[in-house]
Amino acid sequence: MGWLMNTWRESAAGRELAALTDRLGRIGAAPALLPVGRLAAVDQHAAAIRDILTLGAGGVSQAQLAYYARGVRDAARDAGWTPPSAEGATTDWVVLRLAAVCLLATAGAAAGAELDPALFS
């Protein structure tokens, strides 16, 4: 029964991350829409997140990425953060951190694939 719960959890996390990517895309901050300079910042955030999850949670999975993204959003909102408009989205730290989560999810890290080291250089 544990495998079924894990499968369900990963599937739900995948849907949550896809919805987050869609929301970021609506304000022009999805990784695929970012200019090169901002994508470099997202790469740095992604490397930090990968390290945090690898050291703290033992790995990077869809569920771990979704939990991390929820934690970032919750902590930011508790500190008074509100989502920026499209004009300020690509310079907002929280938005860039969430874009990095989406980048990791789509880069194959969540599926257990080896990350291309060039992605974070």
Question: What digits encode the pLDDT tens for the residues 43-79?
Answer: 999 999 999 999 886 778 899 999 999 999 999 999 9
Residue 26 CA to residue 86 CA, distance in Å, equals 8
Rounded Cα gap, residues 15 and 102, in angstroms: 11
Is pTM beyond 0.85? Reply is no
Flag whether pLDDT at 110 surpasses 90: no
What pLDDT is stored for residue 21 in this prediction? 92
**Rounded mean pLDDT of 112-120?**
47
